[in-house]
Amino acid sequence: MQKQKIVIIGAGIVGASLAYHLAKRNQDVTVIERHPAAAREVTEKSFAWIHTTHRVAPEYWHLYDAALEEYHTLQQELPELKIHWNGALTWGTPPLREQLHFQKLNREQLEALEPNLKEYPNEAIFVSEEGAVDPIGVTELLLSKAREYGAKIKFGTNVTQLQQEDSRLVGVHTSNGFLESDVVVLAAGTGIPKLCDPLGCHVPVTPSPSILIQMKTTNKLIRTLISNAQFEARQLTDHILLAAEDYIDESEENGPEAVGKRAFNTLRHSLKDGNQLELESIKVGMRPMPEDGYPIVGFHDHINGLYLTVMHSAITLAPLIAHLAASEIIYRESRSELDPCRLSRFSDHSNDVPDASRA
């Protein structure tokens, strides 16, 4: 197995997962992150639900089916990894992808499972296998383990340009100097198009804002993860409650602050002892959303040494996709599991590189 110089741009959950899998397999890994710490972009603002049962196109089912198993494998490798395997409870939302392990719970069962709700539906779906993580905690742990395997992590470092010679990437220009590379892995979320555009490489990814509301609570009020038409919430810790909301606009009526306060008030009124909740923060995360909503992963067809990794939901998919991607990067053999994720699935011009870029 050849030892390659691999530069990973981005230290969120995707970059950290890749760094761990690549460094563990004896690659020369350097992670570049413009912030002074890990997970300070969208990962930090993630609801961090390991959600494998929402509706996706059939060609991606196998990735979601394997995501849970990958997390369990990771937890065996890293016993200090904390995953809250408390299950997910949903009602009044779009139907989930049909799975054999769904449980339909009646009102009596719901009251036993979640005793702190003020109102209950007659029926809800419970997926006991699903879980959630502390997004910052898991990212920092993966980077720490990658560092133990020899990876170098460069925080506070801006990437200014990807250096191309002929049709090959040879390195990365940064605010702290030039880094040679055999492979550059882009795990920079919404920053990927800007890095690729000068190469003549169009990556159809746009920011998709979401809102994360964090509250303090004296006692643990929610046992599972609850998603319904009124709210989406879970406990991050016994004393921190998280809620997620869709971004609407920047108006005074529907801006993030207004949406966050409405979610806070909804939870105060929906939970017994909800009046103990204290609003701590309302944050907007810019999720990197590929044009069709599905991951873009793999080597670029025309730029040697450029590997793309961008996805939503990264919390659910990053450990699995990083495991598969590491295999492709090290052995240069295509993994069929990632075939639906190639950039080439978009229109032909997505991969066209002007002659001047190849020269």
pLDDT digits (tens, 9 = 90+) for 315-348: 999 999 999 999 999 999 999 999 999 999 997 5
- Domain count of the fold of the chain: 2
Q: Which helix (H) or strand (E) holds 318?
A: helix 314-331
Q: Which two tokens stand for residue 223?
A: 């046992």
Return the residue matching tokens 């992670």.
Answer: 31
- The pTM assigned to this predicted structure is 0.94
DSSP letter string over 217-275? -SS---SSEEEESS-EEEEEETTEEEEEEE---SSTTTSHHHHHHHHHHHHHHHBTTGG
Q: Residue 349 pLDDT > 50, yes or no?
A: no
- Torsion over CA of 120, 210, 155 and 294, rounded to 10 degrees? 100
Question: Has residue 43 been placed in a domain?
Answer: yes
pLDDT digits (tens, 9 = 90+) for 122-169: 999 999 999 999 999 999 999 999 999 999 999 999 999 999 999 999
Say whether both 214 and 275 belong to one domain. yes
Tell me the CATH number at 219: 3.30.9.10
Say whether both 212 and 238 belong to one domain. yes
Distance CA(140)–CA(39), nearest Å, equals: 8
Supply the range of the domain harboring residue 39: 5-49+135-204+291-358
Sequence length of the chain is 359
Say whether both 152 and 264 belong to one domain. no
Q: Which of 288, 315, 341 is the last residue of a domain?
A: 288
pLDDT of res. 194: 97
pLDDT of res. 355: 33
User: Terminal CA-to-CA distance of the chain, rounded, Å?
Assistant: 31
Say whether both 146 and 280 belong to one domain. no
Tell me the CATH number at 194: 3.50.50.60
Q: Which of 288, 316, 342 is the last residue of a domain?
A: 288
